[in-house]
Structure 1
Amino acid sequence: MQSKNRAALYLRVSTPDQKPDLQYDGLLDYVDRAGLQIVGDYCDIAVSGRREGRPRLNALMASVRNREVDCVLVWKFDRFARSTRHLLTALEEFDHLGVRFISVQDQIDTASPMGRAMLTIIGAMAELKSSLISERVTAGMKAAAARGKHLGRPPLAPWLIHEIETLAASSDLSIRTIYEKIGQRVSRGRVGEITKRVRLGQKNAL
């Protein structure tokens, strides 16, 4: 049975004057101690943390998907992922493909119980952050509404509302016809809302 020791190293530096030597030496030392075999090293130099701007990271992920790699090693999380979401997405893919992930400085190895526990915590924190952001957005919308700010689609001019209401109240024109008569200066959906409101009010007044 083939041992799963094919390791790929990933390194990243943000500027041309930075050298990846510290990362590389640390990874080599870990590989030697762990008895892994390096089958590739991928280094992005002078690139941002954005995934689409890192050709060597993309090449690494292609090797992982081709099942040419059993283990991915990085020096630190922030050298690999630009965000918690990116990290979790990659780790979920690694887990699905049976690929081990090691962050040497962070002392995380997804093959160990502690490493998997840490990933669970990271995932929970990311979910909590997402929930808090959602709550803040909702609270902000409510506060804006309370201050009289209109959120979402822009309000219609009063004269335009009056024109639609007049057509709706004084005729049996269809919503489509009213929409066409006002010169399509507002969406057909809004015309429908106003027309139905006016005609429902007339019906209730009878």
Structure 2
Amino acid sequence: MKIGYVRVSTLEQNTMRQEIAMEKLGVTELFIDKISGKNTDRPELKRLLNFVRKGDTVIVESISRFARNTKDLLELIEILKSKDVEFVSEKEKIDTTTPTGKFMLTIFGAVAELERDYILQRQREGIEIAKNEGKYKGRKRIEKSNLNTLLNKVRNGEITATKAINILKISKSTFYRRLNEQ
């Protein structure tokens, strides 16, 4: 069975181009994630790994859609290999049933990882420039009208921090940061 995996980084991005490519390749089962590829904690990827059986072939449009770092890529390929499942990347023309394909997979995996590192570096540089120009101030501070009252109650032992967090509907880190600021 030919099984396709499609991934885009955000919910807003369109998967149609990859889906059309999968259809042309004769994929009979398709798994689609709309989440970052920075790690393997992706719901549809997990479903795919549980779904595949001996003799199946997993097909992706490009390696960067499957994994963004070499370690994750090689671990995923090892999982597929342990299930006697082949892997094909259409863009890079990689087929893991051959020694050359395995070698090329490692090279392209390293390139995908480098690409992700470059993206993160450019993002950090852009944020730094924006900060220096006063255009970037980070996330807006959460303001709750009853925050100070609840912080005082926690300090006085009248309620627990957990209860205050639940009432305020804020994260633990935000709560404790605000507690420490006072």
TM-score (norm 2): 0.53
Q: Deviation of residue 8 (structure 1)?
A: 1.0
Cα distance in 1 between the residues matched to 2:102 and 2:82: 14
Cα distance in 2 between the residues matched to 1:76 and 1:110: 14
**Matching of residue 25 in structure 1 with residue 20 in structure 2:** yes
Structure 2: tracts of 5 or more residues without a match:
112-182
Q: Deviation of residue 29 (structure 1)?
A: 1.5
Cα distance in 1 between the residues matched to 2:20 and 2:89: 14
The 1:59–1:20 alpha-carbon spacing in structure 2 relative to 1, beyond 3 Å, is same
How many residues in Structure 1 have an aligned counterpart in Structure 2?
Answer: 111
Q: 1:62 aligns with which of 50, 54, 57?
A: 50
Cα distance in 1 between the residues matched to 2:80 and 2:9: 25
Check the 8 A contact 2:5/2:59 in 1, yes or no.
yes
The 1:120–1:12 alpha-carbon spacing in structure 2 relative to 1, beyond 3 Å, is closer
Check the 8 A contact 1:100/1:110 in 2, yes or no.
yes
**Matching of residue 7 in structure 1 with residue 2 in structure 2:** yes
Q: Deviation of residue 120 (structure 1)?
A: 5.8
Q: Which amino acid aligns with 2:4?
A: L
Equivalent residues in 2 for 1:167-178, closer than 5 Å: none
Structure number with higher helix proportion: 1
**Matching of residue 71 in structure 1 with residue 71 in structure 2:** no
Check the 8 A contact 1:42/1:60 in 2, yes or no.
yes
Cα distance in 2 between the residues matched to 1:70 and 1:100: 6
Find the structure with the greater CA-based Rg: 1
**Matching of residue 51 in structure 1 with residue 37 in structure 2:** no
- Deviations along 1:8-64, whole A, 9 cap, x unmatched? 111011122211111111122123xxxxx61x210012x121322x11111001112
Cα distance in 2 between the residues matched to 1:98 and 1:91: 10
Which ranges of 4 or more aligned residues in structure 1 deviate by more than 4 Å? Answer: 120-123
The 1:15–1:69 alpha-carbon spacing in structure 2 relative to 1, beyond 3 Å, is farther
SS at match of 1:89: helix
Check the 8 A contact 1:51/1:82 in 2, yes or no.
no
Q: Counterpart of 1:97?
A: 83
Structure 1: tracts of 5 or more residues without a match:
1-5, 32-36, 127-206
Cα distance in 2 between the residues matched to 1:114 and 1:22: 28
Cα distance in 1 between the residues matched to 2:22 and 2:99: 21
Cα distance in 2 between the residues matched to 1:69 and 1:111: 12
- Deviations along 1:49-80, whole A, 9 cap, x unmatched? 1322x11111001112xx27611011111111
The 1:69–1:55 alpha-carbon spacing in structure 2 relative to 1, beyond 3 Å, is farther
**Matching of residue 41 in structure 1 with residue 30 in structure 2:** yes
Q: Which amino acid aligns with 1:58?
A: K
| % identical equivalent positions | 36
Q: 1:87 aligns with which of 59, 73, 90?
A: 73
Cα distance in 2 between the residues matched to 1:68 and 1:43: 21
Check the 8 A contact 2:60/2:88 in 1, yes or no.
yes
Check the 8 A contact 1:7/1:72 in 2, yes or no.
yes
